[in-house]
C-alpha cells in the first residue's frame, strides 16, 4: 500500500521535471510557432482537429453519465451494486479532476493567456510560463480542459481486469493515443501550449490515482475515523466547494479606444460614468491621438456581467466621447481602472463621475485653467497633478 502512494509522488515529480524541461528549451513557444504561419493558425478549422474540439469530449462524458446511472441504479437494483465502487471511481475522477480541479479552479483563476493571445503569436498579452499566475478570467490556457477530459479514458484502465491482459493493453493504448491526438489538436489550433496539455493530462491522472487509492487502497488513517463523521464531513465539504465553484467566476474585460482628432473638430467633450473604480486622465501635448482604455477585473456570483462601452460622435465642431461602465450581479471583488490620454491644443471639457474610486488629472497648470472640469468622486479623492 505504501508503494502505491509512493508511485503517486513519483508521478508528480515526473510532471515537475517535464515542465522544467519544456521551459528550459522554450518548447511551448517553439512548437506553437510551427503551427502559426503568415499571421494565422492554418489548422483551426481543419478536420479531424476541429472534430476533437467540438465532439472529442463526448465519449468521456458519456462514460461518466453511465457511471452515475449505475450508482443510482445500485440503490434500487441489487445486481448493480457489485459495480458500485468502480462507478464511484469513474464519477469522482471526472468530477474532481476535469470538472473541479481543471475547469472550475485552475482554468478560470490561473489566468494564463492562450498561444493565440500572446504577443509572440499575434495576440495582445505577454507570454507567461506555466508556473506564473496571471489575471484571473483574462486567460484560460492552463490547463487544457479538453485534454484533461480526453485522458479520463486512460483512467478506465484502473478498473479493468489485469487478468485480461490483451483487452487491458488495447484499451490503454487506444486511450493514450486518443489523449495525445486531443493534445495535438488543441495545440495546432493555438488554444493551448504543450505544458497546458501536459498538466491537463497530469491532473486527471493524479486525480484518478488518488481516488483509486482511497477507494481500493485506503490509507490506514481512514479506517481509524468514525465512518459517520467522515461521511458527513466529506459531504458538507464537497457540497460547499461545489456551490462556491459553480457560482463564483472570475471576470476580466478590456475596452480600447483610439482616434486621431478629425480636422473639423475644435473641441473635445469627455463624459465618463463609472459605478466604482479609478479614473486617470493625462492631458499631454505629446499625445498624437485621443486614446482610452478600460480594464475591469473581479469575481462575481450568479448572472454576473459587465457592460463597458466607449462611443464617439461629432456634433458641429465638437468631438464627444462617452465612456459608460456598469455591472450586473453580485461582485464581492471588483476593480475598474480607466485611463485616457487627450491632446492639449484644443479646448477640453471633462465630466467624470465614479461612485467609489479616485479621479486623477495630469495636466499643466495652464491647461487646467483653460479646461472645464466637472468631477465627482463621493467616496474617493479628486487629485489634480500638475506636469510641465
- Residue 189: exposure state from Cβ atoms within 10 A (0-12, 13-18, ≥19): buried
Residue 225: pLDDT band (50, 70, 90) is very low
Does pLDDT of 39 surpass 70? yes
Grid coordinates representing 352 are 467624470
User: What confidence score (pLDDT) does residue 236 get?
Assistant: 60
Annotated domain spans of the chain: 2-224, 250-386
pLDDT at residue 289, as a whole number: 80
What's the pTM? 0.74
130: exposed, middle or buried (Cβ count in 10 Å: 0-12, 13-18, 19+) = buried
pLDDT category of residue 230 using cuts at 50, 70 and 90:
low
- With contact defined as beta carbons under 8 Å apart, do 103 and 145 qualify? yes
Cα dist from 40 to 29, 32, 122, 147, whole Å: 15, 11, 8, 23
Instruction: List pLDDT tens digits, range 84-128.
Output: 888 888 988 998 899 888 988 898 889 899 999 999 998 888 999
Average pLDDT of the chain to the nearest whole number: 83
Percent share of the chain, pLDDT over 90 = 25
Q: Report the range of poorest mean pLDDT among 101-110, 149-158, 327-336, 368-377.
A: 327-336
Amino acid at each position: 500500500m505504501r508503494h502505491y502512494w509512493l508511485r503517486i509522488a513519483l508521478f508528480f515529480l515526473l510532471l515537475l521535471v517535464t515542465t522544467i524541461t519544456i521551459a528550459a528549451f522554450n518548447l511551448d513557444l517553439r512548437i506553437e510557432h510551427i503551427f502559426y504561419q503568415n499571421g494565422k493558425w492554418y489548422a483551426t478549422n481543419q478536420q479531424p482537429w476541429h472534430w476533437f474540439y467540438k465532439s472529442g469530449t463526448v465519449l468521456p462524458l458519456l462514460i461518466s453519465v453511465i457511471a452515475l446511472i449505475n450508482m443510482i441504479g445500485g440503490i434500487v437494483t441489487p445486481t448493480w451494486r457489485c459495480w458500485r465502487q468502480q462507478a464511484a471511481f469513474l464519477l469522482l475522477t471526472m468530477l474532481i479532476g476535469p470538472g473541479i480541479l481543471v475547469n472550475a479552479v485552475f482554468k478560470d483563476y490561473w489566468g494564463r493567456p492562450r498561444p493565440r493571445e500572446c504577443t509572440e503569436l499575434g495576440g495582445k498579452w505577454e507570454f507567461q510560463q506555466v508556473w506564473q499566475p496571471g489575471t484571473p478570467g483574462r486567460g484560460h490556457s492552463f490547463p487544457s480542459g479538453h485534454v484533461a477530459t480526453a485522458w479520463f479514458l486512460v483512467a478506465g484502465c484502473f478498473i479493468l481486469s489485469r487478468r485480461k491482459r490483451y483487452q487491458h493493453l488495447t484499451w490503454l493504448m487506444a486511450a493514450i493515443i486518443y489523449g495525445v491526438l486531443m493534445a495535438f489538436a488543441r495545440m495546432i489550433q493555438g488554444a493551448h501550449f504543450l505544458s497546458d496539455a501536459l498538466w491537463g493530462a497530469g491532473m486527471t491522472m493524479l486525480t484518478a490515482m488518488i481516488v483509486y487509492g482511497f477507494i481500493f487502497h485506503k490509507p490506514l488513517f481512514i479506517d481509524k475515523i468514525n465512518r459517520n463523521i467522515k461521511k458527513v464531513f466529506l459531504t458538507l465539504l464537497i457540497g460547499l466547494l461545489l456551490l462556491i465553484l459553480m457560482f463564483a467566476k472570475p471576470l476580466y474585460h478590456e475596452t480600447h479606444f483610439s482616434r486621431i482628432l478629425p480636422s473639423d473638430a475644435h473641441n473635445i467633450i469627455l463624459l465618463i460614468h463609472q459605478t466604482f473604480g479609478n479614473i486617470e486622465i493625462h492631458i499631454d501635448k505629446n499625445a498624437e491621438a485621443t486614446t482610452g482604455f478600460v480594464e475591469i477585473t473581479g469575481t462575481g456570483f450568479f448572472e454576473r456581467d459587465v457592460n463597458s462601452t466607449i462611443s464617439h460622435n461629432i456634433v458641429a465642431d465638437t468631438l464627444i466621447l462617452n465612456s459608460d461602465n456598469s455591472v450586473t450581479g453580485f461582485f464581492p471583488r471588483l476593480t475598474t481602472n480607466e485611463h485616457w490620454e487627450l491632446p492639449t491644443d484644443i479646448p477640453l471639457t471633462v465630466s467624470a463621475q465614479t461612485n467609489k474610486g479616485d479621479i486623477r488629472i495630469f495636466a499643466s497648470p495652464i491647461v487646467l485653467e483653460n479646461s472645464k472640469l466637472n468631477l465627482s468622486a463621493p467616496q474617493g479623492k479628486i487629485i489634480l497633478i500638475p506636469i510641465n
